């Protein structure tokens, strides 16, 4: 079946450094991708999204890169801050369906 995987379960970075969280998806028909941030005891919060007709999208301190050839996307966080500590999920969605396939999550730890 469809799956979305993450390359690392935990990522530790120094405060101020850049973070890169990776995600692989299996369905080549997926055409919309979302990154969510989930803090302890809270629901997932939208960070940034990208459609398959793009390969890069930037937000405030965050950038998502999409490589459809290898079915891979990444989330880059610039100048990581303590408030960025959370679990990050990617989700893959296929238009015409209603299913968001979520990855298992990467826990980002920001070291002071």
Partner 1 sequence: DAGVIQSPRHEVTEMGQEVTLRCKPISGHNSLFWYRQTMMRGLELLIYFNNNVPIDDSGMPEDRFSAKMPNASFSTLKIQPSEPRDSAVYFCASRPTSGELFFGEGSRLTVL
Two structure tokens written together for 82:
């303590």
78 backbone dihedrals φ, ψ, rounded to 5°: -85, 145
In the list 7, 20, 49, 63, the residue contacting partner 1 (rule: CB under 8 A) is 49
Q: Select 76 or 102, whichever has its Cβ closest to partner 1.
A: 102
Closest CA to 106 of 69, 63, 76, 70: 76
Comparing CA positions, the residue from 33, 27, 35, 28 lying closest to residue 62 is: 35
Is residue 58 near partner 1 by the rule CB under 8 A?
no
Interacting residue with partner 1 among 11, 21, 44, 50 (CB under 8 A) = 44
Q: Which residues lie near partner 1 (CB under 8 A)?
A: 34, 36, 41-46, 49, 89, 91, 95, 98-100, 102-105
């Amino acid at each position: 079946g469809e799956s979305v995987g993450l390359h690392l379960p935990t990522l530790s970075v120094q405060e101020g450094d850049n973070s890169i969280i990776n995600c692989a998806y299996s369905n080549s028909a997926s055409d919309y991708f979302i990154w969510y941030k989930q803090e302890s005891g809270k629901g997932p919060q939208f960070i940034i999204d990208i459609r398959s007709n793009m390969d890069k999208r930037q937000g405030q301190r965050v950038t998502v890169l999409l490589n459809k050839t290898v079915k891979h996307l990444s989330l880059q966080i610039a100048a990581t801050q303590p408030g960025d500590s959370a679990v990050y999920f990617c989700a893959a969605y296929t238009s015409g369906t209603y299913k968001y396939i979520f990855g298992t999550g990467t826990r980002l730890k920001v070291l002071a």
